[in-house]
Amino acid sequence: MSSIYLAGSSGRLGREIQTSANLKNMNIQQLNRTDVSTFTEILKKRSVPSEKAILLDVSLPEGTKTLTESLLSTDCDGLCAFVIGSTGHTHDMLNKLQHLSQKVPVVLSSNFSRGVFLFEEILKARTTSGASVADLARTLGFDLALWESHHTKKLDAPSGTAKTLAKAAGIGTDRISSSRVGSVIGEHALLFSQESEELRLTHTAHARRLFAEGALSLCERLFEKKLKNQMYSMSDALNELISI
């Protein structure tokens, strides 16, 4: 049996992941705050040591820090990957994750949405000329900017997803406009604009469960195919895992 150890299970995304996992009959083990600090001991004491395990962290940066430091002190046997859905990590924390990725694959994702992954791939895809979509747009005289909107309780602005899409489009964070209003789950639009015309690529999240479904889909692929020990973004990992 394969197990997903979930840190941040009491949060909104954590609850969605548990609900979606139950519908898919996936084995989810919840980690409370005490479990987070002793996770390596839990890993060693599994009833079936040979079973595959994934650590899925949707807590806060503080929880990620505790888990990372704990994993750095052990050999990580039986752990297929450490998947992180929290953002806002310090430079020092990213260095620790980079060090940890020499022992176990680390997937650091700003957004588990499969649609956002497609958005990135569209922006990075090569056109007939050989240029990326974004570079071709600039050559044709279009000005690029990104707009994003989330609910009022979202703390970071611009969001990690907006930064990821901006990077894929080759634009700076100064070209991102952010709105925090009502209960909007998430909307991101890349604008290609010039004086007489405009083109928009937009991703809209209709339900929070899409993030849970994307996280679990990633975990299923990680159980099926072992990644090399290194650091991955969500798109890097999926490009390694998906076979077409």
CA-to-CA distance for 181 and 153, rounded, in angstroms? 9
Find, among 118, 242, 137, 139, the residue nearest to 199 by Cα.
Answer: 137
Q: Which tokens in the block code for residue 220? A: 């299923």
Please tell me which residue in 52, 65, 89, 150 is annotated as part of the active site: 150
| Sole residue written with tokens 């430079």 | 91
Cα-trace Rg, the chain: 19
CA-to-CA distance for 178 and 167, rounded, in angstroms? 16
Based on the residue annotation, tell me whether 154 is a catalytic residue of this protein.
yes
Which residues fall within 8 angstroms of residue 72, CB to CB, at 6 or more apart? 96, 99, 100, 103
Cα Dmax for the chain: 66
Which residues fall within 8 angstroms of residue 118, CB to CB, at 6 or more apart? none
In terms of DSSP H, where are the helices of the chain?
12-23, 33-37, 39-44, 61-72, 91-100, 114-124, 133-139, 160-169, 209-224, 234-241
Please tell me which residue in 96, 103, 124, 154 is annotated as part of the active site: 154
Based on the residue annotation, tell me whether 150 is a catalytic residue of this protein.
yes
Which residues have a catalytic role annotated? Answer: 150, 154
